[in-house]
Amino acid sequence: MNATIVVLGGDGIGPEVTREAVRVLQAVADAFGHEFHFVEHLIGGCAIDAHGTALPDETLAACQQADAVLLGAVGGPKWDDPTAPVRPEQGLLGLRKALGLFANLRPVTLFPALVDASPLKRHIVEGVNLVVVRELTGGIYFGPRQEPTDGTAYDTMLYTGPEVARVVRLAGEIARRRRRRVTSVDKANVLASSRLWRHVVTHIMAEEFPDVQLEHLLVDAAAMHLLRRPADFDVIVTGNMFGDILTDEAAMLAGSLGMLPSASLGESGPGLYEPVHGSAPDIAGQGIANPIGAILSAALLLRYSLNLEQEARCVEEAVRQALAQGLRTADIARPNETPVATEVLGTQVADLVPSSIAKVDQ
């Protein structure tokens, strides 16, 4: 396969972790005979410094023409003035909007070697392998609102049937590649928008995904079950605000922010793949950042934008093996372990890609 991948390193540790993800993607290309063309562009604070805007026209044009976009992180103390007219996160928000990305996927996998890094007990977190599909462009964050005036303010949770249907279809498709279970999360006992959500989910799943098991949970119960029985979940689909909160809760299960990947997908066009963490200015430039969130984002890129499932599994298997061999960056190292540098972990994952092929074939 021939594919063009735009790489937006961004700020802080962004370029340090995307460099390792590109190294792993190149190893995949070499092992499987693909041609990946990597094109680097600026976004965020570094783009403001160079061009006075967080999303230069040439960056956006390159992303729109690409097969997929791999992003590091944007922001940092240098551009932190909340009153500044141009800010790094405008680059990310502008890109999400321009690419029409309506769903955010956050897989949470607990690698066996890191069971003890989770704040939850081993018998609860063992086997956690779930993905949260969050609606990204509707709901209360985008509904009509009134800013506080005369002691009153409101926000409106507004959803239309088609907005719910497209994200549910995506969740159904993802479940078909996994364990075929979807949990839809809402607050249908109180909110009218949630009753619409539940109605559409029930209809679409019954009509289009009869082979996928469906359960409905109220968001308060879902928050509890995520801590009580996280390994039972496969695909969780939910609205914008509930997803925002539940993804942060689910993130804690994996042990470190540095481990978590994400994908943002639209109806067509390139997807955007980025680690969940930010630019981590406190450790930037030291070569100690955990590259696994970025590397697992590259695995999602292979799976969802390039439809290369076997290659995606190889990357995940290579990460699993590198961790099983004891390689850990400082954020996941135990007190008796010597941490390795970002580049050492990235290189080892890349080196393990060819031998992972046989393992995922089994």
- CB 86 within 8 Å of CB 94: no
- Is 234 an active-site residue? no
Check if 187 is active-site.
Answer: yes
Q: Is 220 a catalytic residue?
A: yes
Nearest position to ligand NAD, beta carbon? 278
Q: Which of 30, 80, 211, 248 does the annotation list as catalytic?
A: 248
182 neighbors 214 (Cβ within 8 angstroms): yes
- Ramachandran angles phi, psi of 275, nearest 5°: -65, 155
CB of 45 to ligand NAD, least distance (A): 8
Q: Which is nearer to ligand NAD, 93 or 153 (CB)?
A: 93
Min CB(68)–ligand NAD separation in Å: 17
Letter string b/e over residues 156-165, b meaning 16 or more CB atoms within 10 A of that residue's CB: ebebeeebbe
Nearer to ligand NAD, 234 or 316 (CB): 316
CA 76 to CA 151: how far, in whole Å?
35
Residue 275 DSSP SS3: strand
Least Å distance between CB 284 and ligand NAD?
8
CB of 150 to ligand NAD, least distance (A): 33
* Residues forming the site for ligand NAD (CB under 6 A): 13, 17, 73-76, 92, 257-258, 274, 277-283, 289-290, 293, 331
Largest CA distance in the chain: 67
Task: Check if the beta carbon of residue 272 is closer than 8 Å to that of residue 69.
Answer: yes
DSSP state of 335: T
- Exactly one of 232, 244, 351, 359 is catalytic; which is it? 244
Selecting among 141, 155, 232, 351, the annotated active-site residue is: 141
Task: State which residue, 75 or 172, has the beta carbon closest to ligand NAD.
Answer: 75
For 108, phi and psi rounded to 5 degrees?
A: -125, 115
Strand partners, 263: 105, 273
Burial-class residue 68 by CB neighbours within 10 Å (0-12, 13-18, 19+). buried
Active site residue 304: no
Give min distance, CB of 162 to ligand NAD, in A. 28
Q: Is 173 helix (H, G, I), strand (E, B) or coil?
A: helix
Nearest distance from C-beta of residue 17 to ligand NAD, angstroms: 6
The secondary structure of residue 254, as a DSSP letter, is: G
Among 67, 186, 187, 304, the one annotated catalytic = 187
> Closer to ligand NAD at the Cβ: 120 or 280?
280
Q: Which is nearer to ligand NAD, 172 or 278 (CB)?
A: 278
Element (H, E) at 271: strand 271-275
Contacts of 327 (CB under 8 A, 6+ apart): 340, 344, 345, 348
Q: Smaller CB distance to ligand NAD: residue 90 or 183? A: 90
Which is the catalytic residue, given 30, 49, 211, 220? 220
Instruction: Kindly list the distances between the CA atom of residue 265 and the CA atoms of 34, 44, 110, in Å, as whole numbers in the listed order.
Output: 23, 20, 23
- 141 noted as active-site residue: yes
Active-site residue numbers?
141, 187, 220, 244, 248
